[in-house]
A and B are shown apart, each in its own frame.
Chain A
């Protein structure tokens, strides 16, 4: 089983609090975290409850060292102040609690992940999924060692996703190409009109980039595809 390798006698968080409202997942986490010796784990189901427990422990001079929290919680019939993991995290950060935080969620929206990791400066983001149990354990260890952690298959989301962005210079170049102008003639035309990107190299770079984007084999092909897509 996956748990076999974690019985190492390493230094570890002594007090962990878990916020997770789905029992089955909570049980999985329990099975995982029970493996950690000398660690007290508290389970909570509501963000408000979690926040109060963290606050109380802080006042009792026996604070939690790590919070593992889901982001999405079922709406309850109770009067709820904090309705999501994001709000819980924001509140904790706002009140400067000294607690490490790992978000554990099915949510794979890149901007949200970046918001939590970069803006709220949480310590780890683990995706729920097939690999999540060993993933979470790795995350706990990394965070304990002061590192930031993100699940490997979400690693590409640490930076905003790239789209091929075509601007009006690119469109102008394609238009001139479609009119039968050569690269040099395009450069001359740009220079005459006093346009910025008017060096041979910059026009050339743009054409190469567009050929790649539009999967064109040559310039003629590029113009034809661009026409088909209605770009010119």
Chain B
């Protein structure tokens, strides 16, 4: 039983250390696939899809304690928010990314995050923090290109805050960097910015730098940069040459339109709207419209990302709840299993107990039966044989055994021998096969002597073949008992045994014309008690009736 339970519960297997490694590897291959999909979405500007994927990735990485992965995912989320102009959210996301990446020690992506934070701060006019962020990026970086980009951005902030000298100084310093030629885009940007700054300072060098920047940008087809160049050209000409300025502003607008950069489109439209021209009203309306739609888009984006975050958090919470549910269910299941196991143990225990009790009862009945039989045989030997043997002993002792004496002796001994054979016959085995009816008839016929007439009535009424062996034995022994009793005590010369069977209830009616029973002697003395025990053992009954003279016994039992 314990073994059975052990087997039942061993089905619940806890994962081992070895399994954990395997799971990690599997999880990573799954994550890296997801990571690639997210990056693809990001590059294809499917920002919402990318944002969703990165949000999930971040948590997957966190689950595996991979802060580098989590930081990178979070950074890209911040970049997406930045792209939608959701600066506030972008900032908090970028700060989150910063926290993860700092845990990994020095991570290249830290620089990107600082740069992003700098851009955000600049956008929200927090110049002080913007410069700090860029300086952080510069401190971390040993890559001159990144450093140059960051410095260029710092210079832009100086320009934003009208510190043109400071800006120029920094930009010229960058320009001297020998690594600038490695990154033409940055170089063009620096040259363009130098031009713009010279212009602000009303220096004649301005146009030359602007030109140089524009040429480089055209060369590497940096369209985003080109928009900036055109807008700087516009600035340069806006007061002196309206039509030229407008033509640059239109170039800026069409390029921005081409690259679908709404912010730059807005800047171009703003320029067109500010400059006197025939279409000024049109440009102004377009500017307002774009401004509004941009505002709406940004608001929408804010909501959208908030919703994505909310949905995700909800989904996580649900997942968590499900996990708890599953765990509870598991616990419930194991409780059920335990209860079932206990139930089975209990049921089996009860069954064993019942079987044991039945066996014990059966054994007791058997022992009693054997005891009764032994008792009966012993009594018989004492009553019928011991006396005879004693008589013969006395005879042999007292007489001189002559030939006549010998004859008597042999005769007496033969009588004893016959009696022992009778005892043997009364207790021998009974054939309960299909021959049983003739076996029974033969036993009854033994008592059908010249003086005693034994009659059987409707013997074939009983479907002997449908009766169990032990019931056949009972019928045989009971009738035998009755016949022995009849022969010995009743002095009857007529015996009728009537066989009936109705509704699968066998009824055997014995009657003789003897002296009947002395009811006081009925028990034990005549062995009829034994017959009664046997019948009750097969759920039958045995009733005696001596009221009409002779003996009538009614024996019934179910098939």
Contacts and interface: CB of A to CB of B under 8 A. Distances in A.
Interface stretch (B63-71, B288-296, B312-320, B451-459): B451-459
Contacts of B453: 164, 213-215
Contacts of A230: 496, 498, 509, 511, 548, 552
Contacts of B425: 108-109
Contacts of B446: 161
A36 to B, nearest CB: 25
Nearest to B422: A108
B447 to A, nearest CB: 9
B48 to A, nearest CB: 89
Contacts of A166: 455-458, 496
Contacts of B448: 161-164
B107 interface: no
A166 B495 CA distance: 12
B457 A231 contact: yes
Contacts of B413: 130
A164 B455 CA distance: 5
Interface string B394-431: 00000000000000001001100110010011001001
Contacts of B439: 109, 111
B442 to A, nearest CB: 5
A161 B453 CA distance: 13
Contacts, number: 95
Interface in B78-99: none
Interface string B538-552: 000000000011101
Contacts of A109: 425, 428, 439, 442
Size category of the B interface is 35 or more
A78 interface: no
A162 B456 CA distance: 11
A230 B459 CA distance: 16
A161 B442 contact: yes
Interface in B373-406: none
Given A225-B513, A230-B509, A231-B496, A165 B414 contact: no
Contacts of B418: 129
Nearest to B545: A230
Q: Is the interface of A mostly helix, strand, loop or mixed?
A: loop
Contacts of B445: 110, 160-163
Contact of B424 (A106, A161, A164): A106
B444 A163 contact: yes
B455 A163 contact: yes
Size category of the A interface is 20 to 34
Given A129-B414, A161-B445, A163-B441, A215 B494 contact: yes
A31 interface: no
A46 to B, nearest CB: 20
A111 B459 contact: no
Given A162-B445, A166-B496, A228 B421 contact: no
A8 to B, nearest CB: 26
B428 A129 contact: no
B493 interface: yes
Contact of B410 (A111, A130, A160, A214): A130
A165 B456 contact: yes
A229 B553 CA distance: 11
Contacts of B243: none
Contacts of B494: 214-215, 225, 229
A164 B496 CA distance: 9
Interface in A105-126: 106-112, 115
Interface in A63-112: 106-112
A108, A164, A231: which has the most chain B beta carbons within 10 Å? A164
Contacts of A163: 441, 444-445, 448, 454-456
B392 to A, nearest CB: 14
A134 to B, nearest CB: 14
A168 interface: yes
Contacts of B457: 165-167, 170-171, 231
B325 interface: no
A228 B417 CA distance: 38
B414 to A, nearest CB: 4
A211 to B, nearest CB: 11
B169 interface: no
A106 B421 contact: yes
Nearest to B549: A228
Nearest to B451: A215
Interface in A181-215: 213-215
Given A109-B439, A166-B496, 16 more contacts: A111-B435, A130-B413, A160-B441, A161-B446, A163-B454, A164-B455, A165-B456, A166-B455, A166-B456, A167-B457, A213-B453, A228-B548, A228-B549, A229-B512, A230-B511, A230-B548
17 contacts: A108-B421, A129-B417, A129-B418, A160-B442, A160-B445, A161-B448, A164-B448, A164-B453, A164-B456, A171-B457, A213-B455, A214-B453, A215-B493, A215-B494, A225-B494, A228-B511, A230-B511
The 7 closest A-B pairs by CB, nearest first: A161-B445, A164-B455, A130-B414, A166-B457, A229-B496, A229-B511, A230-B511
